[in-house]
Amino acid sequence: MNINKKDSIKNFLSTKLGMKLIRRLMMDGKKNKAEKILLETLNLLAETSSENPIIILKSAIRHTKPLIEVRTIRVRGTNYQVPIPIFSKRRTSLAIKWIVENARKKKGNDMKYKLRDELLLACRNQGESVKKKINVHKLASANRAYTHFRWF
């Protein structure tokens, strides 16, 4: 790994996306530990693949972003699952949330390895986080008859 990759990884941690990832990884207020996990994950990505790890991370998030979500709305005593389009900030935060949650669910190794594996799978349009997005889209398309209940 050359010096430019290391510098770009260090600079990525201070961007908005990097900070979002760090905050989502953080548990019990241990921000330094979350930064270390993310840094080691990006270094592992740089070692295992020939691509830039930041590009892999961004494409994994892009593949995991949902377009629609389903919200429950109560009308006349009946609950309806209403599909609603999502703004871009929420899309990104949901994608990050799903990737980190599914990495945590995996058994075995350290978090850096589990996060690396989940990012590589999401980059290839595979993995649990992409399945979650597909399931949300299926649920939204199944309930598209109730879109007239959306008033906001």
Percentage helix, strand, coil for the chain under 3-state DSSP, each rounded to 5: 65, 10, 20
Q: Report whether 112 contacts 40 (CB < 8 A).
A: yes
Identity (one letter) of the amino acid at 123? Answer: C
What are the extents of the domains in the chain?
A: 3-149
Residue 46 pLDDT > 70: yes
State the architecture of 3-149 in CATH terms: Orthogonal Bundle (1.10)
> Comparing C-alpha atoms, which of 91, 90, 86 is closest to residue 70?
86
Please compute, for residue 26, the number of CA atoms within 13 A of its CA located in the half-sphere on the CB side: 12
Both tokens of residue 83? 């599909």
Task: Report the run of H or E that residue 89 belongs to, with start and end.
Answer: helix 88-105
Mean pLDDT lowest among 60-64, 69-73, 134-138 = 69-73
93-146 tens-digit pLDDT:
999 999 999 999 988 888 889 998 999 999 999 989 999 999 999 998 888 777
1-20 tens-digit pLDDT:
454 666 677 788 888 988 99
